[in-house]
Amino acid sequence: MLDPNYVHERKVYVQLVLRFRFGREEDESMGYNFVKTLYLDTTQLYPPLQGGATPTTEIQRTLISKLGNFAFPFKLDFPKLSSPSYVMMQGWEDEGALIGVEFEVMSFVGANEQDIHKRSSCCLMVRRLMECPARFFDLPAPSGCSTKTFLTCFGAVTLEASLTSNVYFPEEDIPVKVSVKNNTSRDIKRLKVKVVQMSEVPIFNDSQTRYKTLLKMDDVVNMPPSSSLSRDYMLMPVVPSKTARGQVFLQGELRSDSPPTLAPSTILHPGVDKRDIFGVFISYIVRVKVTLGALTGDAILDLPFVLAVQQGT
């Protein structure tokens, strides 16, 4: 809604803005900042362009009827290459903003699209969520089998694991079924099952995957050679304590007092390559590890799953 007496002979625009912070605010110095700003979509609202009218929604029509003739509806499109709204969790020692992706809608009055002044603009934070497609729920539940041999002992370890679904929600139990066959000459001492969040920043040439354990179950077992074992575990993906500082991404929130929620998995648009994503790429796995000792090594099996946006968010 605008005041034509204030606009006068100028124009009114609305923009969708993406701000990607790729470094800690407390590390900024000498005028250098770790923020990239992209203006994703711009629409001229006033004066209305000829033939530029777009179909309005029921909510927009209701607002126009209440606000009057100088209320103008608009539509902005999120680009397929931008990630959802993510923010890195702050630890006890962190200060200022950390790595994350934020969006805002900015409207301003100016002579053209580049004539932006703070006194003639207003901003509204928005949050981008990506709904998990229905086809993901119909995919088979993840399962896997791995056989590993070791240099310091004879034989091999066979590790099998499976989940009950391809998609889970934050704070939902994840049942994990694990089977181990010890065909080596060594005893198996430990069996570890954990939920791991993996994060990448694809736009960097030296992008590395960061692994952060969210929840771990350490099971002390005693498996002599030629023995087998089957166990069922229940894990719940939850936000870790602040002592686990760094590299844990949360879902972007509009209010500072909102309860923290784990960042959902990044779901690529069909035809988009992960290396072209602007922002952060998030994925999850359940990792099962069998330990034979410090000198022998481990047998590891990863089961990828999708963490969807919490229902009712």
Say which CATH topology domain 134-307 has: Immunoglobulin-like (2.60.40)
* Virtual torsion, Cα 278, 280, 281, 283, nearest 10 deg: -170
Structural fold of domain 4-126: Immunoglobulin-like (2.60.40)
Asked whether the beta carbons of 205 and 226 are under 8 A apart, the reply is no
Q: Are 85 and 129 in contact (CB under 8 A)?
A: yes
Each residue's pLDDT, cut to its tens digit, for the chain (313 residues) gives: 888 888 888 899 999 998 888 777 666 666 677 788 888 888 888 888 876 667 889 999 999 999 988 888 888 888 888 888 988 887 666 666 778 889 999 999 988 888 888 888 899 999 888 888 889 999 999 999 999 888 778 888 999 999 999 999 988 999 999 999 999 888 888 899 999 999 988 877 667 888 999 989 998 888 888 899 999 999 999 888 766 555 789 888 777 677 888 999 999 888 888 888 888 899 999 999 998 876 677 889 999 999 998 765 5
The secondary structure of residue 309, as a DSSP letter, is P
The tens digit of pLDDT for each residue in 170-196 reads 889 999 999 999 998 888 888 999 999
**Residue 247: which of 205, 290, 291, 198 has the closest Cα?**
198
What is the C-alpha separation between 37 and 35, in angstroms, rounded?
A: 6
The two three-digit tokens of residue 201, written as one number: 């920043």
- The domain limits of the chain are 4-126, 134-307
Confidence (pTM): 0.86
Each residue's pLDDT tens digit, 108-164: 998 888 888 888 889 999 988 888 888 999 999 999 999 988 877 888 899 999 999
The reply to whether domains 4-126 and 134-307 share a CATH topology is yes
β 86-88/249-251 pair status: antiparallel
Joined together, the tokens standing for residue 63 give 């607002």
